[in-house]
Amino acid sequence: MDGFATGSLEPDLYLVLDVSVEEGMARQERAGKVADRFEGEGRAFLDRVRAGYLALVAADSRGLLVNGSGGGCQRGTAADP
């Protein structure tokens, strides 16, 4: 389906900005934001979503995992979820 939607174009590189669920929730709270539909699904859901993105980066050398908490980057391998 992706190939159809994009005309079979694929990126040379893609970035995944990784922030732990705890950090993301703390940022939302500090900003005074109300939980939207995704955040409202709860912690277990957010853990699964993060794990899915980390798995995508681990499986594809074109992926670059960027530590959204101020750390470095990892190419083609994911940090521990």
Model confidence pLDDT, tens digit, residues 21-77: 999 999 989 999 988 898 889 999 999 999 999 998 888 888 888 888 877 666 665
Alpha helices (H) in the chain, listed in sequence order: 2-6, 21-30, 43-59
pLDDT at 11 over 70: yes
Residue 57's Cβ-count burial label (10 Å; 0-12, 13-18, 19+) is buried
Neighbouring CB atoms inside 10 A of 31's CB total: 7
* pLDDT reported for residue 80: 44
Residue 65's Cβ-count burial label (10 Å; 0-12, 13-18, 19+) is buried
